[in-house]
Structure 1
């Protein structure tokens, strides 16, 4: 098993640094470019949403590669929010404000997803992507 742990606090610059670290980790592990692209996009969406909308002071990210699967785990102490619950619809092409696509991506890109609010009051989102 290969493992990468990241602690992301701040804004877009910190997220960009984390994206670079994840990209390098996945390349070193021989993950296909398509898997790496999905993983980086998911990291960006989940982390920026938690920091901007969930008032999380930081997001802890763990990337694990084992048995042909990439697992991403995101934990934060922000406001409770289950990105897998409820209905998510894409905004129209002519939407006045950008955004709104993150929930759709979080629901559609991974092969598996699970959310839980931990006993110590943290959001925990687990995503898995097939390495094939």
Structure 2
């Protein structure tokens, strides 16, 4: 049995990806969803910080590499169908979303409209200075 045998238990999609949900390890708040490939998941486990696969950039993306809002890994979980990863993390800096909010799920459907329920903590222009 190889040291990376645990990766073979995951049902990767046809592009070699699996959805990954980041959850605050203390509060249970869902912070964000992203994608991982085998390399990013292996690096997440090795580095004890969230490393995702950016589909738009087609490259590895260490959460916080530009913003400083690193996700420190506390534990990894695999769902019952082996096709979704859950990362329980400590969100450094309190901002997980590129919009400058604490999490990405800030819109709630109400009377057929999406209402923004969570305020921006920090303007993304101040977070991402070179975009």
- Is the TM-score greater than 0.5? no
Q: Which has the higher contact order (CA 8 A, sep 6+)?
A: 1
TM-score of the two chains, using structure 2 as the length reference: 0.31
Q: Which structure's residues are more often strand, by fraction? A: 2
TM-score of the two chains, using structure 1 as the length reference: 0.31
Rg comparison, structure with higher value: 2
Q: Which structure's residues are more often helix, by fraction? A: 1
